[in-house]
Amino acid sequence: MGTPAESGVKAAPLLDILRRRIAAEGPITVTAFMADCLLHPEHGYYRSQSAIGLHGDFITAPEISQMFGELLGLWAADYWQRIGEPEKCYLVELGPGRGTLMRDALRAARALPAFRRALIPVLVEASVRLRDQQQAALTGEGAIWHEQIAAIPKDAPLLLIANEFLDALPVRQFQRGDDHAWHERCVGLDEASGELRFMLDPRALPFDELLPQVLRDSPPGSIVESSPPVRAVAVEISARLKAQGGAAVFIDYGYASAGIGETLQAVYRHTYADPLQTPGLADLTAHVDFGSFALAAKRAGAAVHGPVGQGAFLDQLGIQARAAKLKRDNLAQAGDVDQALRRLTAPEAMGTLFKALALTAPESPQPAGFA
């Protein structure tokens, strides 16, 4: 597998910018590197690339099948009923990609006309380019867009969905050095070649106390990750749910409790790439630490449901019945539906690595899918 640079891909303009910046100012943290790669105003991945779908770099659950967005739309409709059918609510999506999930969710929501009348779709999207695509997918739906969670309206309950949003938020990495102390992992320049390379901040961090017991004795070279922005989302959404009511579901790939090992990965045209060679050109993600997400949400006063595997979650929402109906309605498509069902739910596909976790206010009903 050649790196994209070797396989004749256009050069990464961000690579030169980062090289110059590091030469002038010194190494930058992995967090700063990831943030620039994804959201640099001009050359960031989400600002400049058409990432998602068959012709992009990766395919997400809503792009695999309409069933995914439909079931999440029904999940929201069900919760709206559980909280007493408020006259107004916001159906919020964080990081809506091409707008496919929201489009499918709104189509499913029409099965409950009172719900469709009550809801205002809100899309939180940092990329202007993707916002344009979302607007085209959602013409006539009365949706509104914001760049940040803080701008979501405050005057009605939230039904919030975020699929593969948390994995796009930057992580910090810490590595145990040969001195047995923890150091922040950075991106600097190799003195000989002038190329980007990972290195450690020479300053030791008094970090052991912050680590779960099981990680404290890890050998030199061990890497652990931590994502302050992911925990900040947990805190911000928890506060909103407490104040406004409603429920939020986060679906992503990740682990239920913290472990050793780095999960930072770059994907370019459906293939893994070297993150240091493709800044701004490849998608850069890290697995989500659902354990610390849940802890941050609990501390902020929310009730946490799950995480459960995506397969179990979709099964509880009725994906088998939905698939059977789609197959009856269109026999020619039956093979595609079966294949999508398998990809979304089978343990060896997305069924267990991907997980769903929901947040609600503490005294609120339990959302569907987490029994």
Judged by the rule CB under 6 A, the positions of this chain that interact with ligand SAH are 46, 52, 60, 62-63, 95-97, 101, 124-127, 130, 163-165, 168
- Nearest approach in angstroms of CB 145 to ligand SAH is 10
Q: Which two tokens stand for residue 130?
A: 């993707």
- Nearest approach in angstroms of CB 238 to ligand SAH is 18
* Cα 214 to Cα 144: distance, rounded to the nearest angstrom: 45
Nearer to ligand SAH by Cβ, of 70 and 164: the residue is: 164
Closest residue to ligand SAH, judged by C-beta, is 95
- Nearest approach in angstroms of CB 52 to ligand SAH is 5
Classify residue 90 by burial, with Cβ atoms within 10 Å: 0-12, 13-18, 19+: buried
Nearer to ligand SAH by Cβ, of 59 and 205: the residue is: 59
- Nearest approach in angstroms of CB 229 to ligand SAH is 7
Residue 278: closest CA among 32, 44, 52, 20: 44
Classify residue 330 by burial, with Cβ atoms within 10 Å: 0-12, 13-18, 19+: exposed
Instruction: Please say whether the beta carbons of 98 and 133 come within 8 A.
Output: yes
Instruction: Please say whether the beta carbons of 163 and 174 come within 8 A.
Output: no
Nearer to ligand SAH by Cβ, of 49 and 364: the residue is: 49
Nearer to ligand SAH by Cβ, of 1 and 54: the residue is: 54
Nearer to ligand SAH by Cβ, of 96 and 307: the residue is: 96
Nearer to ligand SAH by Cβ, of 163 and 364: the residue is: 163
Nearer to ligand SAH by Cβ, of 95 and 245: the residue is: 95
Hey, what amino acid is at 349? A
- Nearest approach in angstroms of CB 189 to ligand SAH is 27
Nearer to ligand SAH by Cβ, of 29 and 222: the residue is: 29
* Cα 69 to Cα 63: distance, rounded to the nearest angstrom: 9
- Nearest approach in angstroms of CB 163 to ligand SAH is 4
- Nearest approach in angstroms of CB 166 to ligand SAH is 9
Hey, what amino acid is at 319? I
- Nearest approach in angstroms of CB 268 to ligand SAH is 15
Nearer to ligand SAH by Cβ, of 182 and 253: the residue is: 253
Q: Helix 66-82 vs helix 334-345: angle between axes, to the nearest 10 degrees? A: 60
Instruction: Please say whether the beta carbons of 365 and 359 come within 8 A.
Output: no
- Nearest approach in angstroms of CB 357 to ligand SAH is 15
